[in-house]
Structure 1
Amino acid sequence: MVGTGCRIVYGKADISLNERAENFTSDNTAASPEEQEKTTEPAAPDDALVQAPSALLMEASTGTVIYEKDSDTRRSPASITKIMTLILIFDALENGTLKMDDLVTTSAYAKSMGGSQVFLEEGETQDVETMIKCIVIASGNDASVAMAEHIGGSEQEFVRQMNERAAGLGMENTHFVDCCGLTESTDHYTTVRDIAIMSRELITKYPKILEYSSIWMENITHVTRQGSKEFCLTNTNKLLRSYDGCIGLKTGSTSLAKYCVSAVASRNNITLISVVMAAPDYKVRFKDAAAMLNYGFSKCSFYTDENPEKLPQIEVRKGTKPTTEIKYEKNFQYLSTDGKTIGEVERKLNLETQVQAPVKEGDVAGTLEYYQNGQKLGEVNILFSETIEKATYKNCLEKLLKLL
């Protein structure tokens, strides 16, 4: 299983594909060679938009659901399970318990995984970054289990953490049994809504994953007792080649789950997550995902207030300081899904010129409201930047002495 002529290729780059890439096994079960599928015309927002029984389209930055079909029915996710596995990996990287250059050793159990794999040998070591690529590009079950054991001590403990993380995200109809989705247990389930939620968590909290999920092919090197050999990782997400703007994320297929995908695409500063479950074949899986993305991009426009008006200082009466700084909680964003371009937006500042001490850092001082044609689009909170206590008699005396 030695890949040759393989190099790092991002997104839709024009490349010559070797025979391995064209005939690479789809994740978790064998599939026929996948041809490019293109859907360019936006469709109507009804059940005819997709053929698959369950589908959902979400805008990533706001979490707005633009289209959904049977979105809360529990189904087997196959390798889309690995999105949660990746979240836990990046959680560990963020909290410092894991580093990209840490070495991960493959156990006999991890090596024994069937389905899609990168053929890690027992005792073989790879760094964490390589393992991430093996998981998100080639959907390696062996790499997933090796990482689960490295982080959790055992796959069972890691899966417990997966379920805990899912609950924390509000994924009410999700339960994991393994870390890779290879199981045929009916206790391993999720929904298109929950997949969109965890996909959004991964790409917004850890956008670096998109650097890996957009790689089409890349070589890794196996170093074992038998020697050194190269192996070519080939992405299971064919939308990378066929859909303009696709940058990830994960496919899945088993006999129980049928064909699933969570696809991420970005155009004109809008990022959409298109989730399909239980499609009858791989062509429908990608065609449905593309149809939803086309619909979303045809309907969505985004307004972001990058330069809100400068905020004044506020007078603090009877405080230990005479004034306080204030700040916006965040930049205001508004997503329109009616297919119309957002025109001129008006702003209305609601803010008192003075407040009574005490004031606490982070408390709401006022709001900045946004309107279009008299209709309110939303608002952003204005917060106190510091805590100012109420002045005591001692404070007043000290202040008087300074003046004298």
Structure 2
Amino acid sequence: MKKIVLLSIMLLCVFAMTLPVAAEEKSSDNSKANLAKGADSAILLERDTGKLLFDKNAHEKLPPASMTKIMTLLLIMEQLEKGSLKLDETVRVSERAASMGGSQIFLEAGEEMTVNDLLKGIAIASGNDASVAMAERVAGSEEEFVSLMNKKVKELKLKDTKFQNTTGLPADDHYSTAYDMAIIAKELLKYESITNYTSVYEDYLRKGQENEFWLVNTNKLVRFYPGVDGLKTGFTNEAKYCLTATAEKDGMRVIAVVMGAKTTKERNASVSEMLDYAFNKFQTNKLFKKGDVITTLRLTKAEKKKNDVVASESISTLHAKGDSVDSITTEVKMKQDLVLPIKKGDHVGTLIVKDGDKVLSESQLTVKDTIEKASYYTLMKRSLQKLVKFD
């Protein structure tokens, strides 16, 4: 009996000794979550590597409100990159686009505005009318553009996002997550010129005309947090206050997303805290900028034999401040099934970044310029040159 009592006491002591440890671990997790205490969901990641620095309920499906326009902007920037859309091109505004409610730049049916100004209207003032006008220009209708948005969602391998419109206005079955919004923002930021729009605090449309319109950025952090240069706010009664923000400091760019904050003050405070955390704890080592030449592609049946292969995005490694970067290496793997012509922007290979044997990241490589098939004249000329050399 004494042995049983003694054993029971010992077990109680062991159990009591484990309690402070469990409480300590829980407290540590909670202190991390306190970075976004004013939000239902949040995430923080470094742009170049895509490495997650912090998250809170990051995969919870929630209405994204006007953060939807990050995808709208992404598809527009893709068209600009391809050359199928020009900044100085004018777009005629339809009655449907002009009738959009919510935040708007007060477009009139039949009015013509340049792509450049419509981009300002979307990126700075979150214009729903500008978003629909651009969607109709790119895809013919908003419905077709939404199909392209959801197709892009699949291309990015996102599982928790579905769009019903280009604007983020309330709609059934229109949802996303903090994680998915961060990945869409990461993709958008490949087009570095987008921050020429999203970083502007104020500007004008139709300047000097009777219907001049003052644009004021809905993201106040572009003015009040050094380094913030985008991206997109959002608000509806259901979504509450949302923000996908990006900032760059000392060559490191991070993305912070907050969803479901009760006030703009809580939203901005949560994002600011996450940005402080990132810049205080981490640093990046820049390996390549977007457009840097990585290797040369030699194709005997192309119009040009030698063609530059370039980085499709900024490529870096991420480290805790003070860590060594001496063991970082890179490796290029080219695709073997390339078929001419190869368009500018097409995926032709992969740059693999390693730390020893550990793969840190993989980034797509593309060609600097479109590679056309060699003409009959070019092929004949090369054949003759070979004959002359042979003789």
**Under a length normalisation based on structure 2, what TM-score does the superposition of the two structures give?**
0.71
Are 1:302 and 1:342, in contact at CA under 8 Å, matched by a contact in 2? no
Mapped to 1, the partners of 2:267 and 2:232 lie a distance apart of 12
Residues 265-324 of structure 1: CA deviation (Å, up to 9, x unaligned): 000100000000011111111111111111111111222457xxxxxxxxxxxxxxxxxx
Check 1:107–1:295 CA distance in 2 against 1; reply closer, same or farther (3 A cut).
Answer: same
| Matching of residues 315-394 of structure 1 within 5 Å | 333-336=316-319, 339-343=320-324, 345-346=326-327, 370=355
Q: What is the 5 A alignment of 1:84-233?
A: 84-183=71-170, 185-204=171-190, 206-221=191-206, 228-233=210-215
CA contact (8 A) 1:78 1:252 kept: yes
Distance 1:367 1:78 in 2: 36
Q: CA RMSD in A?
A: 3.6
Shift of residue 380, structure 1, vs aligned partner: 8.9
* Moved segments of 4+, more than 4 Å: 327-332, 346-350, 359-364, 366-371, 375-381
Answer yes or no: is the 8 Å Cα contact 1:120–1:222 preserved in 2. Answer: no
Provide closer, same or farther for how the CA distance between residues 348 and 235 of structure 1 changes in structure 2, counting only shifts above 3 A.
closer
Aligned to 1:39: none
Query: Are positions 1:294 and 2:273 aligned together?
Result: no
Moved more, 266-275 or 161-170: 161-170
- Select 2:66's aligned residue among 54, 61, 79: 79
- Structure-2 residue corresponding to 1:270: 252
- Counterparts in 2 of 1:146 and 1:293: CA distance versus 1, 3 Å: same
Counterpart residue identity of residue 233, structure 1: L
Partner of 1:4: none
Q: Verify the 8 A CA contact 1:303 1:342 in the aligned structure 2.
A: no
* Corresponding position of 1:250: 232
Q: CA deviation at 1:342?
A: 2.4
Which residue of the partner structure matches residue 25 of structure 1? none
Deviation at 1:113, TM superposition (A): 1.0
**Contact kept? 2:218, 2:233, Cα under 8 Å:** yes
**In structure 2, what is the Cα distance between the partners aligned to 1:168 and 1:369?**
25
Pairwise CA distance, 1:334: 2.1
Q: Which residue in 2 is equivalent to 1:395? A: none
Residue ranges of structure 2 left out of the alignment (5+ in a row): 1-28, 289-305, 339-347, 366-385
> How far apart are residue 332 of structure 1 and its match?
7.4
Q: Partner residue of 1:47?
A: 33
| Distance in 2 between residues matched to 1:104 and 1:257, nearest whole Å | 31
C-alpha separation in 1, matches of 2:214 and 2:362: 48
SS in 1 for 2:105: coil
State the distance in 2 between where 1:277 and 1:252 align.
Answer: 9
Aligned mates of 2:349, 2:223 — CA distance in 1: 48
Asked whether the equivalents of residues 45 and 67 of structure 1 are also in contact (C-alpha less than 8 Å), the reply is no
Q: Secondary structure at the match of 2:42?
A: strand
2:49–2:315 CA contact under 8 A, matched in 1: no
Task: Provide the residue aligned with 2:380 in structure 1.
Answer: none
- Tell me the amino acid that sits aligned with residue 188 of structure 2: L
Task: Give the whole-Å Cα distance in 2 for the aligned partners of 1:111 and 1:198.
Answer: 27
Cα shift at 1:100: 0.9
Aligned length: 310
Query: Could you say which structure has the greater relative contact order, defined with CA pairs below 8 angstroms and 6 or more residues apart?
Result: 1
Q: Where do 5+ consecutive residues of structure 1 fail to align?
A: 1-42, 307-324, 351-358, 384-397
- Which is richer in helix? 2
Q: Is the 8 A contact 1:275 1:289 kept in 2?
A: yes
- State the identity as a percent: 40
What is the SS of the residue equivalent to 1:146? helix
Deviations 1:325-348 (A, max 9, x none): 9x9997974211xx4312361478
The one-letter amino acid of 2:326's match is V
What secondary structure is seen at the aligned counterpart in 2 of 1:61?
coil
Which residue in 1 is equivalent to 2:292?
A: none
CA 1:159/1:377 → structure 2, altered by over 3 Å: closer, same or farther? closer
Deviation at 1:45, TM superposition (A): 5.9
Question: Is contact 1:220-1:233 (8 Å) kept?
Answer: yes
